[in-house]
């Protein structure tokens, strides 16, 4: 069947964030839920509150989540690839997100069901470069190009407050990772959270992988160390296991072009304080996992 003869299906690439949630709502309102798919690829590292948020959004817009998963965690991917993910290259997103998406779009939708997908992303105007990269990727798709749309850039005013709309109009609490420092400061009187909040940091910039995203930089991991030290320790332990098993001097973070381990970074923060790293220039490099 010619690609132009196939029935169109509108697919919201649902990251579990506010931007992609609002775009999914807009898509369903525009085309009807019978012509839409709410698509989520699960890394098995998600924060438990992400699932709560996604379930509530799904119910609000009246569209069940279509979930696909590889079955491996990012750590298992690192061992299989013999490569530790870092800010420059993350095989976990390639295997757990991109590969699962390609299989779904090309095999399930196009080949098995004879449908032609149009993809919707929750990327805002401040991240237009990411939209350009995604557009370019899907224009050079394995077989035929796939159309991509970015409503937050193409349709809405620059100051659209998706988070405010979801919280105040839909009555749905945002994923806690967006304001976890604020929550812990108020509810648990957490001193580190208070320091982060005093420095204008309410939470993480995205809700991926429960704070263990390997593409997070100094700021990201300084915040993780401050408010969820147990999760930081999990990441440090994972890195140390990988280094010992493969006998390689590799690390998630980098310094002066070389290896800089989570252990080394923790020891510096213990000595100098985590707050000095909250505004590190290379703080956050979001990967393909983040569409919000």
Q: How confident is the model at residue 291 (pLDDT cuts 50, 70, 90)?
A: very low
Express as a percent the part of the chain with pLDDT over 90: 78
CB 19, CB 291: distance < 8 Å: yes
Mean pLDDT of the chain: 91
Residue pLDDT, tens place only, 192-230? 999 999 989 999 988 889 999 998 899 999 999 999 999
Q: How far is CA 109 from CA 2, 34, 106, 113, 233, in A?
A: 14, 15, 6, 5, 41
C-alpha–C-alpha distance, residues 56 and 48, integer Å = 13
Q: Is the pLDDT of residue 252 over 70?
A: yes
Write down all domains in the chain, each with its CATH number in brackets. Answer: 3-169 (3.40.50.620), 176-277 (no CATH)
Average of per-residue pLDDT across 104-124: 95
Residue pLDDT, tens place only, 172-181? 999 999 999 9
CB 290, CB 263: distance < 8 Å: no
Q: Angle at CA 224, nearest 5°, toward 220 and 226?
A: 115
CB 38, CB 61: distance < 8 Å: yes
Q: Residues near 28 by Cβ (< 8 Å), separated by ≥ 6?
A: 12, 36, 61, 62, 63
Q: How confident is the model at residue 3 (pLDDT cuts 50, 70, 90)?
A: low
């Amino acid at each position: 069947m010619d690609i132009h003869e196939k029935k169109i299906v509108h697919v919201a690439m649902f990251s579990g964030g506010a931007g992609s949630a609002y775009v999914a709502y807009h898509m369903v309102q525009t085309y009807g839920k019978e012509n839409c798919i709410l698509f989520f690829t699960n890394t098995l590292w998600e924060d438990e509150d992400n699932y709560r948020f996604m379930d509530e959004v799904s119910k609000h817009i009246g569209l069940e989540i279509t979930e696909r998963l590889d079955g491996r965690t990012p750590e298992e991917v690192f061992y299989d690839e013999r490569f530790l993910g870092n800010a420059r290259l993350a095989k976990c997103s390639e295997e757990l997100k991109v590969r699962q998406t390609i299989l779904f779009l090309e095999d399930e939708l196009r080949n098995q069901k004879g449908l032609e997908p149009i993809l919707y992303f929750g990327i805002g105007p401040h991240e237009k470069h990411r939209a350009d990269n995604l557009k370019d990727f899907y224009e050079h798709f394995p077989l035929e190009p796939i159309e991509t749309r970015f409503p937050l850039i193409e349709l809405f005013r620059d100051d659209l407050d998706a988070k405010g709309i979801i919280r105040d109009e839909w009555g749905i609490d945002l994923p806690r990772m967006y304001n976890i420092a604020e929550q812990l400061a108020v509810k648990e009187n957490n001193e580190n959270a208070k320091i982060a909040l005093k420095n204008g940091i309410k939470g993480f910039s995205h809700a991926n992988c429960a704070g263990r995203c390997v593409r997070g930089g100094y700021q990201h991991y300084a915040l993780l160390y401050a408010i969820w030290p147990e999760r930081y320790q999990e990441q440090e332990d994972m890195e140390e296991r990988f280094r010992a098993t493969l006998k390689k001097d590799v690390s998630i973070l980098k310094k002066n072009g070389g290896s800089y381990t989570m252990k080394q970074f923790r020891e510096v923060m213990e000595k100098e304080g985590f707050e000095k790293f909250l505004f590190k220039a290379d703080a956050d490099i979001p990967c393909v996992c983040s569409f919000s």
